[in-house]
Amino acid sequence: MKSHIGPAIRLTVVMLVIIAVIYPLVVAGIATLTPGGGKGETVTVNGKVVGYKLVGQKFTEDRYFNSRPSAVDYNAAGSAGSNKGPSNPDYLKAVQARIDTFLVHNPGVRKDDIPAELVTASGSGLDPDLSPAGAKIQIARIAKVRGISADRLNQLVDDHTEGPLLGLFGPATVNVLALNVALDQIN
């Protein structure tokens, strides 16, 4: 038994150094090569940080493109979904309330035309993106409130649409924070 204790302790120490020291340093080193230097990619306006590109922000005013709902009220420290199934009565009530609110603020839109992402929270509660359809369905409201042509807003959404990764993986998306920052810059 004594012949096994020494190698076990050495292996434990070696693995501890690899897993608790070397690996985190390698990951941190690679992170410094990413946009934002591993601290998150910030969005700045006039030299002031207004948010992070990969963390959802709360936009509910009619003059902005609304974000995807969040089950955690956009609290990045408590990222989570609602954990309620699609047949849960509380969940269905919350979704119906979001649909009703959306229809009040977007007259002329039919319930069947509302993209699901505008009335259901994401799994993380911090989804920063919408589909192009989720952004474009809000154009009529924003055009009316801001006095900007719908064509100009359509172009703005198109300009901020990012295609699938490598043209293959995932859907096209629109970052809501970047879109709203650009919207404020034109009006």
Does pLDDT of 76 surpass 80?
A: no
pLDDT value for 98: 94
pLDDT value for 54: 82
Element (H, E) at 129: strand 129-130
Number of other CB atoms surrounding residue 86 within 10 Å: 8
Please tell me which residue, 2 or 20, carries the higher pLDDT value.
20
- Can you say whether the dihedral through the CA atoms of 68, 155, 62, 58 is positive or negative? positive
Please tell me which residue, 147 or 48, carries the higher pLDDT value.
147
pLDDT value for 119: 92
Per cent of the chain over pLDDT 70 is 99
Q: How confident is the model at residue 84 (pLDDT cuts 50, 70, 90)?
A: confident
Please tell me which residue, 12 or 50, carries the higher pLDDT value.
12
pLDDT value for 60: 86
- For residue 68, what are the CA distances in angstroms to 16, 48, 91, 119, 130? 41, 24, 15, 7, 7
Interval 79-84 mean pLDDT: 77
Q: How confident is the model at residue 75 (pLDDT cuts 50, 70, 90)?
A: confident
Does pLDDT of 148 surpass 90?
A: yes
Does pLDDT of 79 surpass 80?
A: no
Does pLDDT of 26 surpass 90?
A: yes
How far is residue 158's CA from residue 174's CA, in Å, rounded to a whole number? 9
